[in-house]
Amino acid sequence: MDIRQLLLAAFEVEHREHIDAIRAALAGSAEARDWNDVFRRAHSLKGASRAVDLPPVEAVAHRLETLFDRVVEGGGTLDRAAEAAVHLALDRIEAYVGGLTDGVGTPMPDDALRALDRCLDSESPVPPPEETPSRAADAPPPPVTAPAPPASPAPEPSPEAGALLRVPAEAVEGLTRASHELASALGDEAAWAEGLARLTRRAADLGVAAERLRGTAKAGTDLRAFETDLLALAREAADLSRLRLRVSSAVEAAAARIAEQAERLALVPAETVFGGFPRALRDLAREGGQDITVQTTGLDLPVERSMLQALKDPVLHALRNALSHGAEPPGARAAAGKPLALGIGLDVAVRGARVVIAVHDDGRGPDLEAVAAAARRRGLAAPDDDPEALLALVFEAGLSTAAQVDTLSGRGIGLSVVADAVRRLGGHVRLAPRSPWGTSLTMSLPLSAARRPMILVDAGGATYALPSAAVERVIRFDGRDLDRAMGRPVLRVAAEGGEDAVLPLLALRDLLGRAEAPPEAGERGVGLVLRAGARRVVLAVEALREVRTHLVLPAPPIGADPEVIAGTVILGDRPVLVLEPEGLVARTVEAGARGGPDAAPPRDALGGTIGLASRSASLTTILVVDDSITTRTLEKGILEAAGYRVVVCVDGQDAIERLRAGIEPIALVLADVEMPRLDGFGLLKAIRAEESLARLPVILMTSRGDAEDVARGLDLGADAYLTKQTFDQRRLLDTIEQLL
More confident residue, 225 or 617: 225
User: Can you give the pLDDT at residue 612?
Assistant: 37
Burial class of residue 591 (count of CB atoms within 10 Å of its CB; 0-12, 13-18, 19+): buried
User: Can you give the pLDDT at residue 557?
Assistant: 61
User: Is residue 187 scored above 90 in pLDDT?
Assistant: no
Pick from 108-112, 270-274, 723-727: least confident: 723-727
User: Do the beta carbons of residue 434 and residue 346 sit within 8 Å?
Assistant: no
Mean pLDDT of 165-184: 61
| Long-range contacts of the stretch 43-49 (C-beta < 8 A, 24+) | 43/413, 43/417, 44/18, 44/313, 44/417, 45/15, 45/18, 45/19, 45/93, 46/407, 47/313, 47/316, 47/317, 47/320, 48/11, 48/14, 48/15, 48/18, 48/312, 48/313, 48/316, 49/11, 49/15
Which pLDDT band, with edges at 50, 70 and 90, does 122 fall under?
A: low
More confident residue, 69 or 219: 69
Q: What tens digit of pLDDT does each residue of 455-464 get?
A: 899 887 788 8
Mean pLDDT of 219-234: 71
Mean pLDDT of 13-33: 82
Largest CA distance in the chain: 117
Q: What tens digit of pLDDT does each residue of 50-97 get?
A: 878 888 999 999 999 889 888 888 777 788 888 888 988 888 898 888
User: Can you give the pLDDT at residue 382?
Assistant: 63
Pick from 228-242, 368-382, 683-697: least confident: 368-382
User: Can you give the pLDDT at residue 343?
Assistant: 93
- Taking each continuous run of H as one helix and of E as one strand, the counts in the chain are 21, 23
Which pLDDT band, with edges at 50, 70 and 90, does 219 fall under?
A: low
User: Can you give the pLDDT at residue 669?
Assistant: 94
User: Can you give the pLDDT at residue 704?
Assistant: 66
Strand 462-467 to 450-459 pairing: antiparallel
Q: Backbone phi, then psi, for 69, in 5-degree steps?
A: -60, -40
Rounded to 5 degrees, what angle do the CA atoms 401, 403, 406 make?
105
Q: What tens digit of pLDDT does each residue of 550-566 get?
A: 777 776 666 556 667 77
User: Do the beta carbons of residue 40 and residue 413 sit within 8 Å?
Assistant: yes
User: Can you give the pLDDT at residue 684?
Assistant: 92
User: Do the beta carbons of residue 393 and residue 375 sit within 8 Å?
Assistant: yes
More confident residue, 412 or 581: 581
Q: Give the chain's end-to-end CA distance (angstroms, integer).
A: 63
User: Do the beta carbons of residue 359 and residue 346 sit within 8 Å?
Assistant: yes
Q: Using a pLDDT cut of 90, give the percent of the chain over it.
A: 8
Pick from 107-121, 459-473, 678-692: least confident: 459-473
More confident residue, 262 or 278: 278
Pick from 154-163, 169-178, 555-564: least confident: 154-163
User: Can you give the pLDDT at residue 696?
Assistant: 93
Mean pLDDT of 136-151: 33
More confident residue, 494 or 398: 494
User: Can you give the pLDDT at residue 83?
Assistant: 85
Q: Backbone phi, then psi, for 343, in 5-degree steps?
A: -95, 125
- Residue 436 preceded by cis peptide, ω within 30: yes
DSSP state of 104: B
Where does 101-219 have alpha helices with state H? 111-122, 169-214
User: Can you give the pLDDT at residue 134?
Assistant: 32
| pLDDT, the chain, mean | 75
Q: What tens digit of pLDDT does each residue of 596-643 get?
A: 444 444 444 444 443 334 444 456 899 999 887 767 777 887 788 778
User: Is residue 673 scored above 90 in pLDDT?
Assistant: no
Q: What tens digit of pLDDT does each residue of 294-343 get?
A: 989 988 888 877 788 888 888 988 998 899 888 888 889 999 999 888 99
User: Is residue 345 scored above 90 in pLDDT?
Assistant: yes
User: Is residue 145 scored above 50 in pLDDT?
Assistant: no
User: Can you give the pLDDT at residue 602?
Assistant: 43
**What CA–CA distance (Å, rounded) separates 398 from 413?**
6
Which pLDDT band, with edges at 50, 70 and 90, does 346 fall under?
A: very high
For the question of whether the overall pTM of this predicted structure is more than 0.85, the answer is: no
Q: What tens digit of pLDDT does each residue of 395-433 get?
A: 775 555 554 444 444 444 557 778 888 888 778 888 889
